[in-house]
Amino acid sequence: MSRRKTERLLNLVVCLLATRRYLTAEQIRRAVPGYPDSDEAFKRMFERDKEELRELGVPLEVGSDQQGGGGEEIGYRIPPQAYELPDLHLTPDEAAVLGLAARVWQRASMAEAASGALLKLRAAGVETDVPTAVGIEPRVNTHDPAFPALWEAVRDGRPVAFDYQGIGRTSVARRHLEPWGVVSRRGRWYVVGFDRDRDEQRVFRLSRIVGDVKADGAAGSVTVPDGVDVRRIAFDWGDPVNEPRPATVRLRRGAAQGPRRWARDVRPVEDGAVGDGEWDEAVLTFRDVDRFAPYLVRFADDVVVLDPPDLREAVIQHLKSVLASGGHPPGPPGETDGTVNGR
């Protein structure tokens, strides 16, 4: 089923579920995007759509709101009580999976189109059942700017190109990927696919993609190899971000008590420079630059990152953002991994 047809059928279901009245064919035509202007073409497409919904098991009801008198116009609706699922008894694991699924596609174009169809119905004077409409809109929770473009590329089978900042690097490299799937792992999103530059299967973390994701080929030109399990690839991938890494920092004497709690190899700095005797040099352990840098920014006046370069650059960029916005450094990360980036 094409994307256009899928969106039209979803919008049709939304409209017929969202009102207790019978909607005439003309009302449906005006409210649901995707129907043609030609009367004959609309009739043919609408007949096919009705048959499609019935084959899918959607309880499409035909009737009229007018009682007797003859000449009443036939309308359509979907009784919510007939469409609703019976009571389900789920295991905790099953409930967790459904909870995640319920948050999928917050940015999906189908959800936007469905909302637009409801607005058209209300503008035409048709009362809609808002809770029903909201209940069937799926959502996904991700703040990675690269997610929508990559999801569309996977859906369309289209190669992409993007700039990627690898672990431990301060510069970006252009990557060319045939995407197979987008997967969430431990609260992070990853894209799995075939890396044309390395000529091998690779996994990329979305938060490390810099700038826009660009189309790099024709739709339908990407084929997922038989037997490929993108979820298993992402979960088995040895993400170096999860491996502990050392960071060499300077801590102002008598300050930065938070980092000092986790510091090791602390020693006074005596190099004859200005401020000699005011600083200690130490080693901290961290796992994730994206979490650790905001933590260190909280101690901006009392902590100087010397190494590794990607952590130092991330701290500098956070400080510039704080200065530009006139705001305050972010609070401590919300998750703990047993190292300093926990609190």
Does the domain formed by 147-240 have CATH 1.10.10?
no
Distance CA 43, CA 54 (A): 17
> For 42-82, how does the pLDDT look when each residue is reduced to its tens digit (9 = 90+)?
999 999 999 888 888 888 889 887 765 556 688 999 888 77
Predicted TM-score (pTM) of the model is: 0.42
Q: Burial-class residue 16 by CB neighbours within 10 Å (0-12, 13-18, 19+).
A: buried
Fold of 3-135: Arc Repressor Mutant, subunit A (1.10.10)
Domain ranges of the chain: 3-135, 147-240, 244-342
> Residue 82: what residue type?
A
Question: Same CATH topology for 3-135 and 147-240?
Answer: no
Residues of the chain with pLDDT under 50: 102-103, 105-110, 130-139, 274, 329-343
Least Cα distance to 128 among 136, 120, 118 occurs for 118
Distance CA 272, CA 9 (A): 74
Tell me what pLDDT residue 58 has. 86
Instruction: Provide, for the chain, the percentages of residues in helix, strand and coil under a 3-state DSSP scheme, each rounded to the nearest 5.
Output: 40, 20, 40
Q: Give the chain's radius of gyration (CA, Å).
A: 28
Q: Using CA of residue 319, residue 324, residue 327, residue 333, what is the dihedral sign?
A: negative
Distance CA 158, CA 148 (A): 13
Q: Using CA of residue 218, residue 223, residue 229, residue 233, what is the dihedral sign?
A: negative
